[in-house]
């Protein structure tokens, strides 16, 4: 388990650096890597990302997926492992979902407060 976490953190760090310093596709936009989850057999890595400053994150995700061969190649240059996992970029929507839940809870709380005032 410890080995997987260590490899996940190395992959996280390296992919972040590759996207920030080596990737030149402007259509990808500003990418934040939130988490990397490595398969037990080390064959695949799910990379959870968010895009800042865009209204169409799925478009940015498609552009990032077009670059995953380049990113994987660069990752192989940086890592001292025999096998480099296949990268799967996934749009991380947890922040948007939690914001929506907070918004709904606040709305409900305000409605309850108004009901108590009107009694």
* pLDDT tens readout for residues 68-114: 999 999 999 999 888 899 999 999 987 666 667 777 778 788 888 78
Residue identified by tokens 């498609």 is 62
pLDDT at position 88 is 97
With contact defined as beta carbons under 8 Å apart, do 78 and 71 qualify?
no
Tell me the pTM.
Answer: 0.78
Domains in the chain, CATH or no CATH each? 2-92 (3.30.300.20)
Question: Element (H or E) spanning 90, and its range?
Answer: strand 86-91
Residue 2 CA neighbour count, 13 Å, CB half: 0
* pLDDT tens readout for residues 11-67: 999 999 999 999 998 899 999 999 999 999 999 999 999 998 888 999 999 999 999
76 class by beta-carbon count within 10 Å (0-12 exposed, 13-18 middle, 19+ buried)? middle
Q: Give the integer Cα–Cα distance in Å for 20 and 22.
A: 6
């Amino acid at each position: 388990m410890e080995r997987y976490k260590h490899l996940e953190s190395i992959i996280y760090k390296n992919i972040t650096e590759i996207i920030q310093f080596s990737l030149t596709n402007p259509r990808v936009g500003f990418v934040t890597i939130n988490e990397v989850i490595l398969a037990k057999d080390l064959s695949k890595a799910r990379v959870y990302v968010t895009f800042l400053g865009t209204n169409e994150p799925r478009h940015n995700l498609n552009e990032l997926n077009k670059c995953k061969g380049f990113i994987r190649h660069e990752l192989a240059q940086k890592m001292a492992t025999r096998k480099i996992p296949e990268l799967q970029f996934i749009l991380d929507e947890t922040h948007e979902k939690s914001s929506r839940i907070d918004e709904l809870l606040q709305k409900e709380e305000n409605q309850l407060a108004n009901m108590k005032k009107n009694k």
